Amino acid sequence: MIRLGDRQQTQAAADIVLTEPGAYRAFPKSQHCLPPLFECTTGKIYSQLHNYTRHKCTVEARIPRLFAEYSLLRTLPKTDPFFSSSQGLSTIVTAIVTSRKIFQRMKNFVIYRIACTEQLLFFFFMSCIFYHPNEYNEDWPSYFYIPVIALVTITILNDGTIISVAYDNVHASQLPEKWDLNILYIVSSSIGLTALASSLVLLSYALSSSDPSSQWAQMGLPQLTYGEIQCLMYLKISLSDYFSVFNSRTKGWLWTRAPSYVLVFAFILATGASTWLSVYWPFGNGMKGIEWSLAGYCWLYVTFWAIVQDAAKVATYAALQSVGWIESVDVIDEEALKEARKELDIVAVA
């Protein structure tokens, strides 16, 4: 127990607050850090804490240790003004944690949005320029395309998945978040370009389905018409976009943090609707629905490539960390903060 008025033990307490691994640092530009918080009726421990930090010309308020000061309340009289200020401190901590979680969701959204855009736009650009269906069947068009109505349905369902990102489970970083668009673009490209490669590979296989010696035919898959190929690629692109949500939301493997129920529901709704549309395509425009068995094979194909996308993302983060562009930062233990708040409430009532 720290005795009030004991300068040596007060400095020891300040050392604990300042050196404990944590999150937020504020480095004032001026030499005057912060005014003394309170002068306690039984001593000037917080003034001494202030003087000690001012001697270092640094004020560091590290989030995991903000509640450490609450243990001092047991030594203070119940009429001390710090009791009411401690409740305000818990509100500040909650606000900081919430803001960092919101910022993390924003970063996840940007990564997801860029990855989906790269796959969608680059696929249609490259399939239109470099793929010629009439080389496989003279009755097919000279370039590959998907009707506008298919793109509209992808966009509508994709927007619903994007909204669910705002309700996802995230962890607050122990350090203040930083906005670095270059890093976000590199990470999202590792996801989006991997999905793009998988789409182009599937398109090549599907176009060669009429050739009995092709790998598509050797795997026992049915011969496809051009309309069925369009529906197959519609389903593949849709599923890859929705699976990218899980790739974008974590720095580690996609199963390292459980998603929210809202995100899972949006994923099931979007993928279910896309699968139904690919089998029972109701809008015409030359597209023809595929068989349920082929839709199942597409699901297996996309699931495999979703893991490949995640591996590419994990490797990208590891490479960026090895060159010093990003750093590994722990997250705030919110359960520990809740326990500290409960202890504070018990002391305040006692």
**Which of 63-77, 124-138, 237-251, 285-299 shows the lowest per-residue confidence on average (mean pLDDT)?**
63-77
Q: Is the pTM of this model over 0.75?
A: no
pLDDT at 2 over 80: no
Task: Pick the closest to residue 223 from 241, 202, 208, 203 (CA basis).
Answer: 208
Q: Residue 199 belongs to a domain with what CATH number? A: 1.20.1110.10
pLDDT for res 343: 66
In a domain, 91, yes or no: no
CB 238 within 8 A of CB 274: yes
Phi, psi of 322, rounded to the nearest 5 degrees: -70, -30
Structure tokens at 115: 């990855």
Query: pLDDT tens, 187-237?
Result: 999 999 999 999 999 999 999 888 888 888 888 888 899 999 999 999 999
Confidence of residue 275 (pLDDT cuts 50, 70, 90): very high
In a domain, 93, yes or no: no
Single-letter amino acid, residue 21: P
In a domain, 136, yes or no: yes
In a domain, 86, yes or no: no
| Residues 272-279: contacts with CB under 8 Å, at least 24 apart | 273/157, 274/153, 274/154, 274/157, 274/234, 274/235, 274/238, 274/239, 274/242, 275/235, 275/239, 275/299, 277/153, 277/234, 277/235, 278/231, 278/232, 278/234, 278/235, 278/238, 279/231
Query: pLDDT tens, 160-172?
Result: 778 888 888 888 8
Phi, psi of 331, rounded to the nearest 5 degrees: -105, 160
Taking the C-alpha atoms of residue 225 and residue 240, their distance in angstroms, rounded to an integer, is 23
Q: How many domains does the chain have?
A: 1
Q: Where are the alpha helices (DSSP H) in the chain?
A: 7-19, 45-55, 63-66, 82-130, 148-164, 181-207, 215-218, 226-248, 261-279, 292-322, 334-349
In a domain, 77, yes or no: no
Single-letter amino acid, residue 246: F
Apex 234 CA angle, 229 and 237, nearest 5: 120
pLDDT for res 320: 93
**Chain position carrying tokens 């793109």:** 151
pLDDT for res 348: 54
Where in the sequence is the domain holding 128, given as residue range(s)?
103-322
Q: Using CA of residue 241, residue 244, residue 245, residue 246, what is the dihedral sign?
A: positive
In a domain, 260, yes or no: yes
CB 231 within 8 A of CB 266: no
Query: pLDDT tens, 108-140?
Result: 999 999 999 999 899 999 999 999 998 888 889
Query: pLDDT tens, 298-335?
Result: 999 999 999 999 999 999 999 999 998 888 787 877 77
Structure tokens at 279: 């089998």
In a domain, 178, yes or no: yes
Mean pLDDT (whole number) for 239-254: 90
